[in-house]
Structure 1
Amino acid sequence: MKKYLLGLAVLLMGTAVMTSCDPAEDYPETYLQVYSTGAYVVNSGNMYSKIESSLTAIDYASSTATQNVFKAANGRSLGNTANDGIVYGNKIYLAVDQSNTIEVIDKKTKQSIKQIKTTDLLGKAEGADPRHIIADGGKVYFTTYGGYVAAVDTTDFALQKKWQVGSYPEGLVIGNGNLYVANSNYGAGGGNISCINLSNDNVETKNIEGVNNPTSIYYASNVLYVLDNPVYGPAPDYAATGENSLRTVSFAEGKSQKVADGNYAVCVTTGAATTARTSVEMVRPHFFVLNTPYGGTPSVSVLVAGSTQAQAMTLSEMPVSPCGIFADPLNGHIFVLSYKMGDNGYADYNGNGYVVEYDSAGQKQHEYATGVGSCAMFFDSAYKTAYAE
């Protein structure tokens, strides 16, 4: 009998121990939450003044900006006229126009992994002057002033495909299985848009009514948008005709409609993970549009994707000579690039610039120094463990 009671006691004790270790009871549910860690500023330098390109890194945690991070890590120049960049996976990709390179660097160390010579990859003419770059599905896509879009594998950096598009292509975007390209024709007028069907590689290039010098292109809420700029006449006057505007595009109909005034724009869909692992609170895609009319007063407006009426937005402090607008897709903060003013009262194109960070309501948060000719920004993120409520 004693042996039986002892055995029963041991059994019950074991059950109690096992119950107290039940994960559902003692350990809260966790999930990985993505959060913003910082940003990068691409500085083109000044080709005519022989000022090299550089990369500025902004760290949110310390609210500091570090200059020349590529050169510091590699002991060499980034090159001549860097124009665009992205973070994709654990790598950074930079399009360096006049050097005809795509620089691939390690996100953590900033050391170069591969320098892709676009003229070797595509040919001397076809690969000249890489301009803008995006990534999707294990590939990076970039445009060249040679009139091509190239797709490169992110593992071995080999050329996957190339497509001939219009004249002097600039921005590109993927939407609904297609890759759309803004062909600027170098601001001479007659710019158009190319549509690459990624499933069959068919390319259709079409003139769009109201679009003459497209430079940036976006796809939001199943709508195609393009940033169109004035057309410039011949030397020596280079007289400008037309206007800076954000336009919706119906590619099928070959028509467009103006929805905002501006020569810089960014489209962002901010999202914040909620307490449920599979639930994400998404904000409808929207544009921040920066208008900097020559001799006029700079302004910012907000356009919700799908609407046709932009709303004015007031920044608590407008930079002195704004030259670009960007937004962190995770925290929604707005960044406006700017030149500094020279002693002559005009923008100093040979001096270092700066960028102002605002919250989503337009209130200034920080100001960071940048390099010469700041022209693009892109953002970084990481994952952390979060606890479900």
Structure 2
Amino acid sequence: MQFRKLFFSLCCMVALGASLAACSEDEELFDDSGSKVTLPVHRAFILNEGTQGANNATLSFYAPDGNADFIKDIFYTQNQAKLGDTGQALIEYNNDLYAIISGSRYLVRMNTAGVEKQRYAIPESEGDPRYLAADDGYIYMTQYGGQVTKLDANTLKVVATFTEGNNLEGIAECDGKLYVANSYLKNDAGNQYQKELFVINADNMQLETTLTVDINPNQVLEEDGKIFLISWGNYADKGYSAQMIEPQNGNKQTSLGVATNMAVGDDMVYFVNSETDYSNWPETSTNNTFFSYNIKTATVNSSSFLKNAPAELATSSVYMMSVDDEKGDIYIGVTFYSNSNGTMYRFDRNGNFVEKFDCGGQNPKTMVFID
């Protein structure tokens, strides 16, 4: 009997120790120091671009599990300061948030609660900041004027730069290489659209090769060791297009269809072709076509991945899409430009409509998840 009691006690102590260790490990992943609000573990942040020149970019907080209230501008709540002009890019890396505020010309590092830790001011001599990628302790930032800046993720100190090309847009990292869209050159003759995707060695920041892709490359994402690219065309005889590039197969390129935006996650690529007519601006009209690509089966599904979607989504201008890696839920943000805040539509991984809600700001640019 005494042996049984002793054995039971030892088992309880081991179980309790394992539980405490697990909790401790989870807590170490999060840095909510300085937070004025208590946030759940599973959380999401929406960067709202705002209207250029209006100084109204915002960072909104959303609880995917419904266990906390929506916070319209958590950056202001935490820091008692506005983000500034034009929220351009937002990523999560090593449980920190990194955001580009392009109109205000800075890169900011925040903790998991949106409390500012550091910022890097873009020198006036350099081009506007555009998009971000991260790997191996570094942040990579594309800029207009043909520059990729490599910064230490913990200090935001510049450690190296790549200079080539013209106005650089999207960037993605894959197996130690940076895939960077060289989009267009602006001169007295107007915009000269390019067909180049740079492949840069992330370690030494040297160009390894230049891929010829569809004209005006812009959005670049990585999923399952493959690069996905959306090019914007020349606004004349060449339209939007989506391509897949396979680094492990000699950078083989495959056309996937016509798309204006995409999101990756859960071995899937979700596309939308959001055709918007601006000819009667500020009045616009939009028609959306949704389709997907299954990376594992290498199959394009031309049917919409959405089910029982609200009718208005079919004719709303899609500004962003994102996937929650934990649940596979799909989020689609639409814009009403400077007229009102954007709306976010949420669907589960099977495409079933879950809910819609106010984004908390104008022109939802991107959404990231932490769990």
Q: Shorter-chain TM-score category? A: 0.7 to 0.9
Aligned equivalents of 2:108, 2:204: Cα separation in 1 = 29
Superposed CA offset, 1:100-134 (max 9, x none) = 100122322x3322221021xxxx333x3111112
Aligned equivalents of 1:339, 1:310: Cα separation in 2 = 26
* 2:143 aligned partner: 144
Query: In the superposition, relative to structure 1, how do residues 17 and 257 fare at CA in structure 2: closer, same or farther (>3 Å)?
Result: closer
Task: Say yes or no: does 1:72 pair with 2:77.
Answer: yes
Among candidates 358, 363, 366, match of residue 376 of structure 1: 366
**Counterpart of 1:288 in structure 2: which amino acid?**
Y
**Counterpart of 2:138 in structure 1: which amino acid?**
K
Shifted more, 21-30 versus 366-375: the winner is 21-30
Q: After superposition, where does 1:277-316 map in structure 2 within 5 Å?
A: 285-295=267-277, 297-305=287-295, 307=298, 309-313=300-304, 314-316=306-308
Task: Say yes or no: does 1:227 pair with 2:227.
Answer: no
Superposed CA offset, 1:175-219 (max 9, x none) = 12211111211664114111111344321352514x111111123
Query: In the superposition, relative to structure 1, how do residues 75 and 26 fare at CA in structure 2: closer, same or farther (>3 Å)?
Result: closer
What residue ranges of structure 2 are gaps of 5+ in the alignment? 27-39, 186-190, 278-285
Aligned equivalents of 2:103, 2:193: Cα separation in 1 = 23
What residue ranges of structure 1 are gaps of 5+ in the alignment? 1-11, 233-239, 270-284, 341-347, 382-389
Aligned equivalents of 1:199, 1:207: Cα separation in 2 = 20
Structure 2 residue matching 1:23: 3-state secondary structure? helix
* 2:280 aligned partner: none
1:87, CA displacement in angstroms?
2.3
Is the contact made by 2:145 and 2:165 (CA closer than 8 Å) also made in structure 1?
no
* 1:95 aligned partner: 100
1:94, CA displacement in angstroms?
0.7
Is the contact made by 2:199 and 2:211 (CA closer than 8 Å) also made in structure 1?
no
* 1:257 aligned partner: 254
Query: In the superposition, relative to structure 1, how do residues 117 and 199 fare at CA in structure 2: closer, same or farther (>3 Å)?
Result: closer
Among candidates 113, 116, 127, match of residue 112 of structure 1: 116
**Counterpart of 2:230 in structure 1: which amino acid?**
L
* 1:20 aligned partner: 8
Query: In the superposition, relative to structure 1, how do residues 250 and 362 fare at CA in structure 2: closer, same or farther (>3 Å)?
Result: closer
Q: Which runs of 4+ in 1 moved over 4 A?
A: 28-36, 250-255
Aligned equivalents of 2:107, 2:347: Cα separation in 1 = 31
Task: Say yes or no: does 1:317 pair with 2:309.
Answer: yes
1:16, CA displacement in angstroms?
4.1
Is the contact made by 1:334 and 1:357 (CA closer than 8 Å) also made in structure 2?
yes
Is the contact made by 1:177 and 1:197 (CA closer than 8 Å) also made in structure 2?
yes
Q: After superposition, where does 1:1-389 map in structure 2 within 5 Å?
A: 13=2, 15-23=3-11, 27=15, 37-48=42-53, 50-60=54-64, 61-62=66-67, 64-108=69-113, 110-119=114-123, 124-126=124-126, 128-185=127-184, 188-204=192-208, 206-209=210-213, 211-232=214-235, 240-249=236-245, 256-269=253-266, 285-295=267-277, 297-305=287-295, 307=298, 309-313=300-304, 314-318=306-310, 319=313, 320-340=316-336, 348-370=337-359, 371-381=361-371
Aligned equivalents of 1:24, 1:139: Cα separation in 2 = 43
1:327, CA displacement in angstroms?
0.9
Is the contact made by 2:118 and 2:155 (CA closer than 8 Å) also made in structure 1?
no
Aligned equivalents of 1:206, 1:254: Cα separation in 2 = 10
Aligned equivalents of 2:193, 2:209: Cα separation in 1 = 15
Q: Percent identity?
A: 19
Query: In the superposition, relative to structure 1, how do residues 369 and 224 fare at CA in structure 2: closer, same or farther (>3 Å)?
Result: same
Query: In the superposition, relative to structure 1, how do residues 231 and 253 fare at CA in structure 2: closer, same or farther (>3 Å)?
Result: farther
Aligned equivalents of 1:79, 1:146: Cα separation in 2 = 22
Structure 1 residue matching 2:6: 3-state secondary structure? helix
Aligned equivalents of 2:308, 2:68: Cα separation in 1 = 19
Is the contact made by 1:208 and 1:255 (CA closer than 8 Å) also made in structure 2?
no
Aligned equivalents of 2:103, 2:329: Cα separation in 1 = 31
Aligned equivalents of 1:99, 1:219: Cα separation in 2 = 28
1:157, CA displacement in angstroms?
2.1
Figure out how many residues of one structure are paired with residues of the other and give that number: 332
Aligned equivalents of 2:237, 2:69: Cα separation in 1 = 41
Aligned equivalents of 1:152, 1:26: Cα separation in 2 = 43
1:95, CA displacement in angstroms?
0.5
Superposed CA offset, 1:212-232 (max 9, x none) = 111111233333321111214
Superposed CA offset, 1:330-360 (max 9, x none) = 11000111124xxxxxxx4332111111111
**Counterpart of 1:149 in structure 2: which amino acid?**
V
Is the contact made by 1:42 and 1:84 (CA closer than 8 Å) also made in structure 2?
yes
1:64, CA displacement in angstroms?
4.2
1:373, CA displacement in angstroms?
1.7
Is the contact made by 1:356 and 1:367 (CA closer than 8 Å) also made in structure 2?
yes
Aligned equivalents of 1:151, 1:26: Cα separation in 2 = 45
Aligned equivalents of 1:215, 1:364: Cα separation in 2 = 29
Is the contact made by 1:178 and 1:195 (CA closer than 8 Å) also made in structure 2?
yes
CA RMSD of superposed structures (Å):
2.8
Query: In the superposition, relative to structure 1, how do residues 36 and 72 fare at CA in structure 2: closer, same or farther (>3 Å)?
Result: closer
Aligned equivalents of 2:292, 2:69: Cα separation in 1 = 28
Is the contact made by 2:172 and 2:227 (CA closer than 8 Å) also made in structure 1?
no
The alignment's TM-score, normalised by the length of structure 1, stands at 0.77
Aligned equivalents of 2:364, 2:14: Cα separation in 1 = 51
Is the contact made by 1:184 and 1:214 (CA closer than 8 Å) also made in structure 2?
yes
Is the contact made by 1:349 and 1:372 (CA closer than 8 Å) also made in structure 2?
yes
Structure 2 residue matching 1:248: 3-state secondary structure? strand
Query: In the superposition, relative to structure 1, how do residues 250 and 89 fare at CA in structure 2: closer, same or farther (>3 Å)?
Result: closer
* 1:277 aligned partner: none
